[in-house]
Structure 1
Amino acid sequence: MSVEKIAVRLAELCRQGKYETAQRELYAEEVVSIEPYPTAAFEKVTKGLAAIIEKGHKFESMVAAIHDTTVSTPLIAGNSIAFKLTMDITMKGQPRQVMEEICVYEVKDGKIVAEQFFM
């Protein structure tokens, strides 16, 4: 799959909140995920598709409600994809908040091999 097709499909699935579907469909088995910084809940670096899917389940377990999600039009440069993700969200035990991040993906051989998030 081309970088352009991956970008369109990834943005579409993220807009629908179908992150695990995107991971299973578009990510390589050896994918790496990099967070802005380590937290009590998440390490800075997660390696492997199974571990990234589990990380998503952990995040979902921490969410009380997602009120809205916005994904910008993807930017493509060579084998890289980037977009802005905005989530109006209520985490369990916390007040409602708006989270914004830049999501950057690297594609190799038709699959996403790396994702990195910037806040």
Structure 2
Amino acid sequence: MTTQEIANQLVDYCRNNQENKAYQELYSPKITSVEMVEPMKEVHGMEGIQKKGQWWEENFDVHGTEVSDPLVADNHFTVRFWMDTTHKPSGQRSQMNELAVYQVQDGKIIREQFFYDTGE
């Protein structure tokens, strides 16, 4: 698959709440995922991705999302995510924009990094 095809497929999976399918089909087993803050600042491999997903589900209720079309440049692409969530421990509801940048190598996503306002 080309970077454009991978980007389009990822967006389709995210818009249809099929992130696990994306991980299985589009991600390299050597994936690195980078956030801006702890506790999941940087995780490696599919096990790290699974732990990160579990942490997210335990801590957030998602009320709504929007996923932009991808913007591709060579072996990188970016997608904007908008989310309406409630932080379960505090009960605080908020909306956020997040910019995700993905790197593709050998037909798989090898790295993802997320950028958003941390409130700091």
TM norm structure 1: 0.90
Q: How many aligned positions are there?
A: 115
Q: CA RMSD in A?
A: 1.2
Deviations 1:40-72 (A, max 9, x none): x32x21111121122111111112x31111011
Ranges in structure 2 where 5+ consecutive residues have no aligned partner = none
| Aligned counterparts of 2:2 and 2:65: Cα–Cα separation in 1 | 25
The residue that corresponds to 1:33 in the other structure is 33
| Aligned counterparts of 1:4 and 1:85: Cα–Cα separation in 2 | 18
Residue 46, structure 1, aligned to residue 43, structure 2 = yes
Ranges in structure 1 where 5+ consecutive residues have no aligned partner = none
TM norm structure 2: 0.89
| Aligned counterparts of 1:6 and 1:88: Cα–Cα separation in 2 | 26
Residue 86, structure 1, aligned to residue 82, structure 2 = yes
| Aligned counterparts of 1:25 and 1:91: Cα–Cα separation in 2 | 29
| Aligned counterparts of 2:110 and 2:101: Cα–Cα separation in 1 | 11
| Aligned counterparts of 1:28 and 1:109: Cα–Cα separation in 2 | 9
5 Å matches for 1:55-70? 55-63=52-60, 65-70=61-66
2:106 pairs with 104, 109, 113, which one? 109
Of 91-100 and 22-31, the range deviating more from structure 2: 91-100
Aligned 8 A contact 1:104 1:116 in 2: yes
Identity of aligned pairs, percent?
38
Give secondary structure in 1 for the equivalent of 2:86.
strand
| Aligned counterparts of 1:24 and 1:94: Cα–Cα separation in 2 | 32
Structure 2 residue identity aligned to 1:16: N
